[in-house]
Amino acid sequence: GQWFEIRLQHTAASIGSAGTTLEIESTDRDTPTHRISVTSQAIDTTGCTGTITPNALDFGASRVMSRRELDLRMNNTGTGNCAVTVGGLISQLSLSMTAFEIVSSQRSATVPAGGHFDVRVAFEPGSTNSFNDTLIVQVPGVSTAFVEIPLSGVGYDGELDVGPEVLDFRDIPLSC
């Protein structure tokens, strides 16, 4: 299947809540119209300075069908509030399969000066393969409004056999 990306942008005229519904019509017989709730909360972000660490999540090698979780942290080192929103995974936006999952139930937060917001991501490979995805985070106060965090991991199947269990070098003469 093909996919395409739709980027929405909301520019707030004043502090407060706003919401609408995005409707996408398709030729899908089961669900011809997809409705997506779109909400926003405009806050004063004057003084927001956000940093995200790490700048990528590498899960390394994981056994097929095992689960590993890592955290991503957004720190507010500024003097004002930062509004953080976890947009999702690129694979979810394209409706493709992924081995990654956003575990955190909270997807947005207002982070006060000196505070932080953590996002937990899981990797559970379903096959032996290399997996890559991208986590989208929106944070004002960084170089761009949307920060793309690369995710990577490798699924492997098999066991590591180490042997022999005992190494006996027998008698070894001392050297002078």
pLDDT at 160 over 70: no
Q: Is the pLDDT of residue 104 over 70?
A: yes
Say if CB 16 and CB 23 are below 8 A apart.
Answer: no
Cα–Cα distance, 115 to 9 (Å, whole number): 26
Q: How distant, in Å, are the alpha carbons of 2, 26, 27, 40, 46 from that of 30?
A: 18, 10, 9, 29, 46
Asked whether the predicted pLDDT for residue 145 surpasses 80, the reply is no
Note the pLDDT of residue 133: 93
Q: Which of 80-84, 128-132, 148-152 has the lowest mean pLDDT?
A: 80-84
The pLDDT value recorded for residue 80 is 86
